[in-house]
Amino acid sequence: MLNVEKIREMNIFSRRIQMEVVKMIAGLGIGHLGGSLSVTDLLSVLYCNQMKYDPKNPQWEDRDWFILSKGHAGPALYSTLALKGFMPVEELATLNRPHTKLPSHVDRTKTPGVDMTCGSLGQGASAAAGIALGFQMDGKDNYVYVAFGDGEINEGQVWEMALFAGHRKLSHLIGFVDYNKLQLDGPTDEICKLGDVAKKFEEFGWYAQSVDGHDVAAIDEAIERAKAQSEKPSMIVLNTVKGNGWSRSANQVGSHSRGLNEEELKEALAEMQAAIDSY
């Protein structure tokens, strides 16, 4: 069980990631805001409590791997990595500028701590399964975490992988769907209805759970349950709010890709700081 202090640490860290995200995107003028903000509670749990990693040695052989299949949420991952010491926080200001190590979509060849190149949706699925399969072949116990967007699981490749990983019993593969109910063109229910996502993965041979994706303790406990079983890959559906953390972006279709002006940035940071103060 998590103690209250750990929960507080993870909540605060999530807001700190969000603050860096809004600063990065405001600095550039445009970016994938909504899907970055909805996934920070997951990133906080992974990087504060679950994953094995070494910022001084990003290629550490015994580390756990994190694949951000929804590669457009790069800003959230970059902020996480910078705050955990993989790179200086000042580097975040280079997002999407020429010669940056921080491109819009995550790139394993450019950013320390980024384990796979993703951006063409659905592809992180198979790469994650391949990495987990490689570890299974070698009898290693590294965990492989992979995060999908909800719109992303429209892609057939995700379901090819789901069948494959279920069949191969890749129990050290733990997936997440950031189910914020909004994709670029509108609500997921209106664009291409997903139905009961957890049940679908269960049918594909996965150990599937559905939790509040903004409850760090619930996410952490779900990961613990996933690790406690060794028969199946795990899928944890995170019920989230797109653009979470700032009242003007929360649950807004338009938050997928947008900028923030100076006033908006101040307001967003104030709201996030207020949240931190409240923990």
Partner 1 sequence: MYKLAEKPYDDPVEMRKVFCDTLMELAEKNKDIIVLDADLMGAMGTKPFLQKFPEQTVDCGIQEANMVGVAAGLSAVGKVPFVHTFAPFITRRACDQVFVSGAYAKLNVKLVGSDPGITAALNGGTHMPFEDMGIMRGIPEMTVLEPTDTVMLADIIRQISGVYGMHYMRLVRKQSVRIYEDGSTFEIGRAVTLREGKDVTIIASGYCVAEALKAAEELSVRGIGARVLNMFTWKPLDTEAVVKAARETGAIVTAENHNVINGLGSAVAEALVKNSPVPVEMVGVQDQFGEVGPVDYLAERFELKAENIVAAVEKVRMRK
Q: Where does this chain bind partner 1 (CB under 8 A)?
A: 107-109, 115-120, 122-123, 125-135, 137-138, 156-157, 160-161, 163-164, 167
Query: How near is the Cβ of 26 to partner 1 at its closest, in Å?
Result: 29
Tokens 């664009």 belong to residue: 191
Q: Which is nearer to partner 1, 160 or 202 (CB)?
A: 160
Residue 185 to residues 38, 151, 189, 191: CA-CA distances in angstroms?
A: 17, 10, 11, 7
Q: Which is nearer to partner 1, 110 or 266 (CB)?
A: 110
Residue 116 and residue 122: Cα distance in Å, rounded?
A: 13
Give strand pairing partners of 147: 68, 176
Q: Which is nearer to partner 1, 162 or 198 (CB)?
A: 162
Task: DSSP for 252-273, please give it.
Answer: -GGGSSB---HHHHHHHHHHHH
Contact 132, 144 (CB under 8 A): yes
Q: Which is nearer to partner 1, 125 or 208 (CB)?
A: 125
The residues, any chain, with a CB within 8 Å of residue 31's CB and separated by 6 or more, are 24, 25, 75, 95, 96, 104, 257, 258, 259
Q: Identify the three-state secondary structure at position 235.
A: strand
Query: How near is the Cβ of 166 to partner 1 at its closest, in Å?
Result: 12
Query: How near is the Cβ of 140 to partner 1 at its closest, in Å?
Result: 9
Query: How near is the Cβ of 251 to partner 1 at its closest, in Å?
Result: 31
Query: How near is the Cβ of 184 to partner 1 at its closest, in Å?
Result: 18
Q: Which is nearer to partner 1, 119 or 259 (CB)?
A: 119
Contact 42, 176 (CB under 8 A): yes
